[in-house]
Amino acid sequence: MRFMMMVIPKGYESATPDTVPSAEAVAKMTEYNKALQRAGVLLALDGLFPPSTGARISYTDGKATVTDGPFAEANEVIGAYWIIQVRSREEAIEWAKRAPMSDNEVIEVRQIHEMPDIP
Amino acid sequence: MRDVHKTIEAVWKIESTRLIAAIARVTRDIGVAEELAQDALVTALELWPEEGVPENPGAWLMKAAKRRAIDALRRGHMLEQKHEEIARELEWRQQRLADALERSMDQVIDDDILRLIFTACHPILPVEARIALTLRLIGGLTTAEIARAFLVPEKTMGQRIFRAKKTLSEAHVPFETPSGDELRGRVESVLLVVYLIFNEGYTATSGEEWTRTAICDEALRLGRMLAQLLPGESEVHALLALMELQASRAAARRGRNGEAVLLSDQDRSLWDLAQIQRGVTALEHAQRLGGGAKHYALQAAIAACHMRARTAEETDWERIVLLYDALMQISQSPLVALNRAVAVGEAQGPAAGLDALDAAACLAGASAMAGYHLFPSVRGDLLMKLGRFTEASEEIQRAITMTKNLREQELLTERLKKIEKAALSA
């Protein structure tokens, strides 16, 4: 089964477009990514630019409305994600617990639908 | 609600390989190492539900294993302990063992994991024992899980694993990474084991769906692990590519009622594009390493050829024939020749396909392959395309009697009807 581990860094919702993680944080994360890779569970990973560079497209009455970031109403935004293939929900949680996160950061673990799951 | 036992199981799946590898580095015996690690797991199962899961479960398990190792040494079960040894000597050895285990866990390196894999896949063992031991030591699967995947009683599987560890121990198989000329053959054995595990999950027509998917995923995980551990071995990347490309079709391989769907009839929109991409990337890696003409790389290249076609009609059969020709250079297998005949039939027409099939049947000779139902089934298809309907239906009827698989029989019966219909309108 596949899971997405989403990183929700506190304050990222209002981070300026040029915000980048510190070299120290990157080094720690690289170590962690290598551990995922060595265990053969890592399928994909990416870091995302802050929402201030993004856009939200919302839909009402079949019409799409575009709002440029940052988004006033958002207080939890995704900063990065991993996709891992593991054998249970608990294993995904265990991997998330091993991630080198700082205080106030959150990882949300969610299972990915497999084709046969969708009727 | 989170269940502590499930958490322990998950911790075990993550940590057990490193743990066993670290202990084996000191004990030099993977059977002993696995027992000590198992003992540590039992301790965890007793204590964690009460005390909670420790902050660093890997280190905790190692500590518990170390305690058990020292106990075992004291009882004289380890390291060919002599009974008359004086107490001081024993104490010194205990300390040395404790220190060595302590250091080992801190330093567990990729080489230890590799040693563990090479030992579990040692050619001294029968293939099914290598498979069981690999799933157990590197997959972290329980004996019950392995037994379920291979549809054998748990007791049988337990004995298989026990005997395998005993064989390794009695033969004093060194816990090491082979080098020089030996390496090639040993890598081949590891790859064969991983591919057999994959096929068990991929092609088995019986067994629970969930178990089969889990076994496929485990083979893929082993393949990815190996690609990290042996980055310079092209066939490691090629096998990973082959598995990713085959697995990417998983959702399209079965119809609504669980029936098999042939490649040419599959709904290609159900293929997993991200997985195809991973497969293609791994194949390109293998080719860059200069291994494009090797066994798994050619098979992966054939799979990639199929995956690149947006419709069955777009398939580049000429290229597939060339790849099969190259594959025939490596192994004169009747099965490869049979698949080649199918490709020749598509690329150069049914008459050329029949000639290629005759050559394949020649290769099969009187071997078990000669009784393979796909020979008459492919011949029937080619004859039908040539308008030789009577011969075609004879071949398909022969094929039906040669397979015990009900789904195959159904598919063949349908084809028989098609031939009869075509014969009537001709």
What is the average pLDDT across B8-28? Answer: 90
The C-alpha atoms of residue B330 and residue B335 are separated, in whole angstroms, by 13
Tokens of B301: 């290249």
Cβ neighbours of A69 (radius 10 Å): 18
Q: How many angstroms separate the Cα of B200 from the Cα of each of A30, B207, B237, B355, B398?
A: 35, 10, 20, 33, 27
pLDDT in tens, B238-259: 999 999 999 999 888 887 777 7
pLDDT at residue B98 above 80?
no
Structure tokens at B311: 């419709």
For B249-281, the three-class secondary structure string (H helix, E strand, C coil) is CHHHCECCCCCECCHHHCCHHHCCHHHHHHHHH
Q: Check residue B76 and give its pLDDT.
A: 61
Higher pLDDT: A40 or B368? It is A40
pLDDT grade, residue B138 (50/70/90)?
very high
Q: What residues in A contact B217, CB-CB < 8 Å?
A: 1, 85, 87
B30: enclosing H helix or E strand: helix B30-51
In chain A, the residue whose alpha carbon lies closest to the alpha carbon of B141 is: A87
CA A96 to chain B, closest CA, distance in angstroms equals: 12
Mean pLDDT of the region B124-132: 95
Which of A33, A46, A87 is most worth mutating to test chain B (most B CB atoms within 10 A of its CB)?
Answer: A87
Look at B331 and B84; give whichever has higher pLDDT: B331
Query: Which residues have C-beta within 8 Å of that of residue B197, sequence separation ≥ 6?
Result: B131, B134, B135, B215, B218, B219, B222
pTM of the model: 0.89
Contacts A37 to B, Cβ<8 Å:
224, 228
The pLDDT of residue B1: 42
Q: Are A88 and B10 an interchain contact pair (Cβ–Cβ within 8 Å)? A: yes
Model confidence pLDDT, tens digit, residues B209-234? 677 888 999 999 999 999 999 999 99
Q: Cβ(B41)–Cβ(B23) under 8 Å? A: no
Find the mean pLDDT for residues B372-400. Answer: 93
Supply the ipTM of this predicted assembly. 0.90
pLDDT attached to residue B46:
92
d(CA A14, CA A73): 11
Q: Where are the domains of chain A?
A: 2-117
Please give the sequence-ordered ranges of beta strands (E in DSSP) within B103-235, or none if there are none.
Answer: none
Q: Higher confidence at residue B105 or residue B11?
A: B11
Q: How many inter-chain contacts (A to B, CB under 8 Å) are there?
A: 62
Res. B118: pLDDT tops 70: yes
Residue B164 has pLDDT above 70, yes or no: yes
- Reported as a pLDDT band with limits 50, 70 and 90, residue B107 is low
Tell me: the pLDDT tens digits for A57-87?
999 999 999 999 899 888 899 999 999 999 9
pLDDT at position B410: 85
Do residue A42 and residue B274 have CB atoms under 8 angstroms apart?
no
Q: What is the dihedral of CA B291, B294, B300, B306, to 10 degrees?
A: 110
Inform me whether the C-beta atom of residue A44 falls under 8 Å from chain B C-beta atoms.
Answer: yes
Mean pLDDT over residues A100-113, rounded? 94
Is there a contact between A116 and B251 if contact means CB atoms under 8 Å apart?
yes
Predicted confidence at residue B195, as pLDDT, reads 96
Of B88, B63, B77, give the one whose Cα is nearest residue B31: B77
Q: Is A103 on the interface with B (CB under 8 A)?
A: no
CATH 3.40.50.720 at A2-117, yes or no? no
Q: Which residues of B fall within a CB distance of 8 Å from A88?
A: 6, 9-10, 13
Token pair recorded at residue A22: 């510190």
Return the pLDDT at B87. Answer: 62
At a CB cut-off of 8 Å and minimum separation 6, what does A6 contact? Answer: A78, A80, A81, A107, A108, A109, A110
Percent of chain B scoring above 90 in pLDDT:
61
